[in-house]
Structure formats: structure tokens, C-alpha cells
Structure 1
């Protein structure tokens, strides 16, 4: 008995222990599911979900007159959720009923598969219950719009299963025009041009999308967990598309005709420093030309266009006047063991005025001036060059501007021949844009302007940051010196190297340049010449400064600045002058309102439809039938009611013509219209009591 009781006691003890263990498990399960359930579920989700970046829509780059120079085009990756409730419901009734018609529509739209091939593809996806089935990549917007109306897809995401993943592709609508200056926004390599400089404004703020991992390692978006991106802002440049086309075309024709290696042409507005056009063409391996580098920013030996700095220095120190005599020595002058040569022969008297030596582009004349007046104190000459900012970059709003080199006596490569060679543009390194800035200062009565490329940064058509002209030097020299160098530049086109480029219709002030450039280790043996032409027009009332620099091929038959770079300058000047005459107004660029970017007043229901369609952020919204004005505030478009009192003149300022006419004519007013665009002013102020048969004049701009 004692043994039996002992055994039973042990069995009962085991049973009780097992029961307690089972109860403990049940309690733990309850605790995990009910008490800590949310915590562990969130932990599970965190292990199977992750956020992916949603790129913001990149801002658009516009020309000054409102044309798109660089913009983003939407593309879509189209996927199908074959596990969507609507597709699986009632044994796939929706899928089966729409399969034939959907396959036919896809085949007709994309033309890459037959109807039966699409039918097989869709059926395989349906059988696999793939929640993220890839149907088509890089679908353009017009095809995406068509897809939304296709059978099955038009039922929506839950019933039709279509998932559209938007992305964008950057394009330059005008392709070659100012391509390098506008730049490229590239994902896997460094951006260039304005796209790079103003990237912080253009790129916007990246958003987030929560993605959940499903079978096969595929991720699908989780609805309701998106953080919307903030779209980038727009850039309005100083570039003018028509002027850019003129500059690009003129440069291109000469490059092709002379098989040149590369070239640049810069057009700057004299009074402001705005770059109106900038062309950069380089010869490609196949013989074609493309905007492959911004040659306007690259430094090199400028040649004879640098002589302007030399004569400004000599005249400003009052060592001489433009009528002081200098001997050109028959175009050959020995300095130590080196010889200065003139690039062109100069028949006739060799003792000429400094003005005429400049007009004939005599290297000997300029070298002798520098050597005579600054030979004992060469740094005085260098200091003048520094005062002209030739030792500094221009500061233009582009990344990659070259650093100029102006030697001093402390430089390692300084020699007894450095000074005379600097006088005619050798042993110094400056960029074409620096040359343009100097000549523009002479055209602008001595005031040196900083070159710039962007007028403003805009958000929803409203200016958020405006860039104004910047004065770098109030006066580069005295008025006496300025008048003399202006006369010398005009003389180049009358009695000098540019006289064959004269025109009877307007005057030009300019300087030609022809420089022999080194070809790497081969030195000067290949006879590669750089042709340049720098000046402004019209000389008596300068509107534009233009600089053309072309590097020719080795042993080119034509290479003088007047015969290569000069014709490009002349063609640009002729066409701009013709445009000004046609408009019957002074030769100057006119700022025009870009109505595509303007926010006009109108009906609130029309505004709401626009904002919804374009998915723009909306703030305050009044009643549907009210007239509203649209304003941007806190990165949202707010619609504010515009009061229209009965029996009084409506306030139509800021409205488009259609809406303005509707309100004014319904109020019993006769309307006279001037201009185009949106209403700028009205002759009868809003709120004025209306009399009998009154007339109102509205001016649009």
C-alpha cells in the first residue's frame, strides 16, 4: 500500500505540474496577444516594411520671355495587383470578363506584343497572385492617360488592380541651344550648368512612401502612409531664346566652315550684365558639333583682345595719350633673345600714333609701350590689371569657372620678356567671359557689371527671390581715358583690322585678336591659332557686348580674328539690329510677363478644378460661385474672395480677359481693351457707382 500511495502521489504531482505549465503558457499567450499585441505587431511590421524616397517634381528652368529651357516629363511604371479583392472576388469574374478587351487595348497601344501574348502574360500573373506584377516600364503620360480608361483598369486600384508608379525624365526642349549653360540634372553623375548651381531650389524636398515586403522579396506600397514631396521651385533665367538661336547659329556655321576645334560666343546686356545668350560648341569625334563644355569659362592666352587692358593702363597713368607716337619697327622687335612679331604685315609709315597701332593690332607697338613705361617697375603694370579684376573670376552663377593667372615679378616663371609679352595677351590666362566683362565696362561708361544668368526664383508663378544687377567697379578709369579707348575701339572698325566688317546702318566698337596657341607637348609646331573678336554695338548707344573666341584646327588656311570670329560677331549684331528696327524701338531686351506663370483672378470652382488636376497644395478655399484672387503663402495657394458689389464697377484687376469681360459687360459697361495678358489697370476703379452707358478702359499686360 505504501508503495502504491507513493507512486500515486508522484503521478498527481506530475499532473499538477503539467497543468500549471499549461496554464502559464495560456497566460503568456494571452499577455502577448492582448496586452503586448500592438507592440509586437508594430515590431513585425518594422521587420517587413521600409520607407522609400519619393522624389519631388524638379522645378522648370525658363528663358526670360517664359519659354521652357529645361523641364521634367512624367513617365510611369505600370504594375498590377493580381491579389486585389475586386479581381479575386466571385472566382475572378472581373478579370475573366475584361481579359480579352484589355489584351486587345494593350496590344494596340504598345505594339510590342500581340493580343494573345498579352492575354497569356496577364493570365500567368493572375495565377501567381502577384501583388506587384510589372506590366510596362517608362510609359509616357499620354499612354498612361489612355491606360486609365482601359477595361478593368478603369475600375480603380482595388477592383482593377492597376498601380502606376510615377517618375520623371529631364529634357531640354531646345536641345542644342545653351545646352551646357542650362546644364543637365543627372542621377548617377555630376550635374552641370544652372541645374547644378541652383539644384537646392530646383530639386524640392524628397517625400517618403511606406512599402511592405510580400512573398518573393517584392515590396508593395502601404496606403495612407505617404509623406508627399514638396515640388522644386522654378528658375527664370536672363537668356533670350531668339538671341540664343542667333548666336548659336552664327557660331555653328563658322565652326563647320572652318572645321574649328571649339568655340564660344557670349552676348551680354550692357547696362545690367545679364547674359542674353551664350553658345559653346566643340567638335566631336564624328565631325559634328555639340555643347560639350562651357568654353566661355575656360582660361587661356587671350591674344590681342587683351591690348585694351594695356592701353587703359598706359593712358590712365598719363604716360601717353592716344596721339603719342610709337614705332612699329616693320612688325619685328628684338627683346633680349626673343623677338616680338606682328601677326599681320603693316605697310606704310612705321611711326604711328598709339591709336593707330592699336587699330592695326601691332604686337610690337603694345610691347614697346609696356617695356618703355613699366620696364623698371613691372608690378605697376600688373597692379593696373588687378584693378580691372583680371586676376579674379567673374563670379557668374555657374560652377566650374577657371581661375585666371596674372603674373607678378614674384612668379617663378617671370622673366625679362614677360612684361612685353603680357602687353599683347601672352603669358596671361583669362577667360572669354572676363574679356566680355572688361569690354562691357568700356561700353557702360566705365561701370563694370557682374555677369549673371538668373533673374528670379519662382514658386507657383510668384517671385520668392529676385536677382538684381550688381556693380563690381563704379569706374574702371577716368573719363578722359575712357573716351580715348572708346575712340580707339571705334577706329578698329574704320581704319584698322576690322574695317571690312563695317556696316553703314550702325556703328561698332571692337578689337580683333589672333593668338598662336600651344598644343601640349608639341608646343607651337602645329600652328594652331585662336581667333577672337570682342566689342559692343551700337557704338554711340551700346546695348550689347559680344565676344567670340574660336580655336582653329592645326594649319588652318584662315585664322585671323577678323576673318573667323569677326563674321560671327557681325551676323549676331546685324540680326539683333534688324529685330530692333522691326520693333521700332531701341535695341534692348524687354521684359515680358510670362502669362503661363501668372496667377489670374477667376471663379473659385474653376480654380479648384485646376488645383485638383495639377495636385497643387491648397490653403483657404471659399464658396464655389465666388470670384477669387489666388495668392501663394506658406507654400500653398490660397483663394481669397473678391467682393463684387451690385450696381458698382467690378474690380477686375488681375483677371484674364474672358472673366473681366464677363463681369464688366454683365454690369452694363462698354469695354475698351488695350494690350494682352491679364488686367493691369482699369479706368473706373472697382466699387465706383455705374452710370448710364458708361465706358471703361482696361489695360492688359
Structure 2
């Protein structure tokens, strides 16, 4: 009986041992199943990371076109040069030779060539002659990869608006930046093998070429009008040795930006040669005191509110007017007495503008300033827009109403000003400006931008009366150098003192000269703003900026095939003569 108990206990122990091994085997099997089956992808990926490295050379980015499909930014293939230090026989010799050809630091190359790495970039997206020179050396361990490189075929035409990309093909400024996600393509994929120590040693047979090109952008600007604006602006900035300048051309009925020129010029192909502050698009980022061009907003408000019409007269104090203890003078020390509203604008009388503003009242004036969009972003589809500055009416001093009436104590951006005056030109409607017409894919529109009404500001009647005043200002007033043969022009000059260095007043020798107008005045096709920053010797907007307006307008209207007023009259007369002749024939036949 005793031996039977021992035998029974022995069997139990054997069963327990067997059970233990079964459990252990089950745990091991579950772990193997989990690793080999359930998490196969995860661990394969980890293994691949240990033995492979992936490069992503940049492929073709979407193109940027003007409104008529002319190329402004394209992608081209360029060689990028790399090295496998393990294969380089003489790192010092190779570094010295290559550094001279590629104009790179030889000490950096020597340091890189002596690292235990199987892959390093020497220089990416080199010029063809640089690639040919290095390739002719037939150096072991030096290789080439094709990458997409951004190229701007028109160089500095609309350079700041278009912007540029970095070495990784991501946009850094302009529409290249704001539409980077749409323009970017999926990158190519190259796999490099690594050794047991994680060092890159060789290319694997795995090169995936991206077939997904980025979306294209079609801008609203016209390359020809853009060129005209840049050419004429550059010539005048050079002629007057000015600090810089801006010119904008807009369709007043749609808000389409046909041109936005900046001086000094900017070539995005060599953006690294410019200081970062010179990358900005001044037409939307920089604000300035508009001077007498701001009198248009005052006049529009006065006519709309029926507190004055173009023939009402105002006493202009013989050229001196004291307000809040400050004496205000006329430009060029003119001694005006009685002037009509039309003459106040034509002669650009500061004291006359003050008298109109006093009759209008601060609250009304402030409300119209805001209605015209001053002090708010236009929300144009370009990056970096500023809002300008209009102080709240509660912060106005005793002299603020007077100062703002002739464009001081308020700052505007060029895009704000041209949008505001476009509302006067088109019959009273403020349009949202836009620089991008469409996002496209394979020639098909994916996303389209259309004219967008912001609000009505003034009536068509007020618009017509103000146009008559501005025609007078060009024919008989300060804007005579904007006169364009064959066309009626409506416009206004501006000459604004810049703030002094200590910000406590205004400079006596630094000015912003400007002219803004539209043509043909009765049915305008274009609104043009010209700004010249700090011209030397002569500062008056009528002398410096108005001639630029005239030349941009003349060439643009010819390009757009806009008939002159004389052509229209001649056509009407010819048609009238034709109808009379047809009537005589009918009479004879009857």
C-alpha cells in the first residue's frame, strides 16, 4: 500500500512537469505567433531600418503661370553630387579638387570624407557645367542623382510675388510659400543599404520615381503688363536716384491684380544674394502715409453725404490756417482764397481739404475711411499682408481731423489704396483683390477664384461726379503729366513727407511721391498706382510719379487693344454714315 502511494505521487509529479512544459511551450508559441504573424510588418520595418536608409530626392513641383499660361516658375532636372567616403581613395586630394570646382569649403569636405558614413551630400542641384566638370574627374566614390530644381525663366519679373523655394523644394516666400502644399509633389524614393554598424555602404536596387506632380497655379497677373510696370518704374527710380518704388495695375471691376512691381528688383533664382528684408512684397507688406491721394476718400464721403458738390466754394485762408495751436500751410506756399471743391482737388489744397473735412465731421469721415477698407486687410490671396493703421476716433487729437484730411496720421498699404480707388472707378463697389486665378491639375481647374464684392461704398452718381473732379485734376491741375493722348484720364497726385528719424515729426527732405488714377475715365479698364520712395531733387507726385502712370497706361492700353476716345468717336461717325447710306438705298428702292 505504501509503494502504491509512492507510485501515485510520482505520476502526479510527472504530470505537473509535463503541464509546466506544455504551458511554457504555449507561451513561447504565442510569442512566436505574435512576432512572426501579427506584428510581422512592424518588426520587418524595424529590421529594414537597421539595414536600409531611404533618401527622398525632390521631384517635379507644380508650375506657376501668368493669366495667359506663360511660364513664370517651372521645375527642371539638376544633378546633385554625393560621395561614399568608404570608396574614396584619397579624401584630401578629392576634397581639394572638388571644392575648387564647386566653390565649397574644402575643410568641410575633408571632414565629411573622413567620417565613417557611406553617403553624404557634397552639393545639391548644381549647374550643368559644375556637374560636367566633376564627372570628368571620374573620381571613385563620387556619384550623381537627379533632383527637381526650381527655375524662374523670367528672372525678376514678379519675383517677389512669386517668391522662391529652398534646397528641399519647399516654398519660403510669395505664392511659392502660401501655396506650397498644392505645388509640392510626392518625392522620389531611393534605398541605401547599411552594414552591421549602421553605416551606408551601397545603393539597393530600389529606386521609386514619383509620378505624382504637384498642382499648377495660374496667376491673375499678365506678364506683359507686369514687364511694362517694372520697366517704367525702374527707369524713374533710377532717374531720380530714389530709394525704391511700387507700381500696381488692377482691373477695377473684378479686383484682379494685373501687375505688382517693386524696386529694387528681386531675382528669385539667386534669392540668397539678397538680405531677408528685401524678400518682402512691398505692395502688400509696407504701409505709408498717402498724402494728398487720401483726399479722394474725403471727397467721396463729402459728395455721398451731400454736404458738398464739385462747385461748392470754400475759403482757403490765403495759405495759412491755425488749428489747435498749429499753423498749416499750403504746398509750395500757395495763397489760395476761394476755391471750389473741384479746384481744391485739382490744385491739391491742404487747407481746402481741412475745410471740407470740418463740414463733413470727424465721425462721418472716420466711418468712410473704414468703409473704404483702410485699416483692415484686403485678404488678397498673397502672404504677408499688413493692415495699415487708422487710430480709433477716440484717440484723435484736436488736429487729427485736419491732418488725416490730407493724408497724415494714417497709413495705408499700396494694395489697400488701389482697391479703395478702384471702388470710385467702378461705380462705388469695393472689390476683394486677388492675385491667383486658379489651381489646376493637368490643365483642368481644381479650384477657381472669382470676383468677390465686399460692399457698396458710394453711389454711381457720386462716382461719376468724383470722376469729373479727377479728370479736371489731370487736365488743369497737378496731374497734367499724366495726360494721355487719345484718352480721358482721372487721377490724383500725392506728395507725403516721411516721418523723421526721431519719430517726433516729419522730415524736410524725405518724401513719398505718388499718383493714382484710372483710364479710360468713363469706362476704366485699369487702375494704376505709382509710388516713388525718396526721390532726389524733386519730390512732387505730379512731376515724379505721374509720368510713370502715363507710360504704364499708354503701353498697357495699346497691349489690351483698348480703343482711344477718338477711335470710338470715329467708329460712331462711320457707323452713322453707314446707316444714312443704307437708308438712302432703301428709299430709292421703295
Q: TM-score range by the shorter chain?
A: 0.7 to 0.9
**Which structure exhibits the higher relative contact order, with contacts defined as CA atoms closer than 8 Å and separated by 6 or more residues?**
2
Distance 2:401 2:123 in 1: 67
Q: 1:304-323 to 2 correspondence within 5 Å?
A: 304-323=292-311
Residue 57 (structure 1) aligns with: 60
* Deviation by residue 1:458-505 (Cα, 9 ceiling, x = unmatched): 1122221111111112x3212332221111111111121112432332
CA contact (8 A) 1:264 1:278 kept: yes
Distance 1:41 1:64 in 2: 50
CA contact (8 A) 1:74 1:140 kept: no
Query: Is the helix fraction higher in 1 or 2?
Result: 2
2:516 corresponds to 1:513: no
Residue 557 (structure 2) aligns with: 577
2:149 corresponds to 1:169: yes
Shift of 1:409: 2.9
**Cα 1:219/1:558, change in 2 over 3 Å:** farther
Unaligned 5+ segments in structure 2 are 1-27, 88-96, 103-112, 267-272, 568-590
Q: 1:375-386 to 2 correspondence within 5 Å?
A: 378-386=362-370
CA contact (8 A) 1:319 1:373 kept: yes
Residue 660 (structure 1) aligns with: none
2:485 corresponds to 1:504: yes
Shift of 1:80: 9.0
Q: Secondary structure of the equivalent of 1:169?
A: strand
Query: In structure 2, which of residues 304, 314, 327 is the aligned counterpart of residue 326 of structure 1?
Result: 314
Distance 1:272 1:586 in 2: 26
Residue 108 (structure 2) aligns with: none
Query: In structure 2, which of residues 78, 95, 103 is the aligned counterpart of residue 75 of structure 1?
Result: 78
Give the number of aligned pairs: 499
Q: Secondary structure of the equivalent of 1:71?
A: strand
Query: In structure 2, which of residues 405, 409, 416 is the aligned counterpart of residue 434 of structure 1?
Result: 416
Distance 1:443 1:493 in 2: 15
Shift of 1:49: 2.2
Residue 404 (structure 2) aligns with: 422
**Cα 1:212/1:426, change in 2 over 3 Å:** same
**Cα 1:211/1:363, change in 2 over 3 Å:** same
Shift of 1:200: 1.3
CA contact (8 A) 1:281 1:293 kept: no
* Deviation by residue 1:276-328 (Cα, 9 ceiling, x = unmatched): 111111399x999x974322121121111010110111111111211111112
* Deviation by residue 1:555-591 (Cα, 9 ceiling, x = unmatched): x32000011111110111121233345999999xxxx
2:303 corresponds to 1:293: no
Q: Secondary structure of the equivalent of 1:579?
A: helix
Distance 2:44 2:160 in 1: 53
Distance 1:518 1:162 in 2: 58
Query: In structure 2, which of residues 391, 396, 420 is the aligned counterpart of residue 407 of structure 1?
Result: 391
Shift of 1:202: 0.8
Distance 1:248 1:283 in 2: 8
CA contact (8 A) 1:382 1:407 kept: no
Q: Secondary structure of the equivalent of 1:506?
A: coil
CA contact (8 A) 1:282 1:292 kept: no
Residue 339 (structure 2) aligns with: 352
Q: 1:602-681 to 2 correspondence within 5 Å?
A: none
CA contact (8 A) 1:262 1:551 kept: yes
**Cα 1:229/1:371, change in 2 over 3 Å:** same
Q: 1:97-496 to 2 correspondence within 5 Å?
A: 138=125, 164-187=144-167, 191-206=172-187, 208-214=189-195, 217-218=199-200, 220-224=202-206, 226=208, 228=210, 230-282=212-264, 292-297=279-284, 298-346=286-334, 350-374=337-361, 378-411=362-395, 414-473=396-455, 475-496=456-477
RMSD of the TM alignment (CA)? Answer: 4.1
Deviates more, 1:525-534 or 1:134-143: 134-143
**Cα 1:197/1:139, change in 2 over 3 Å:** closer
Q: Secondary structure of the equivalent of 1:259?
A: coil
For normalisation by structure 2, the TM-score amounts to: 0.75
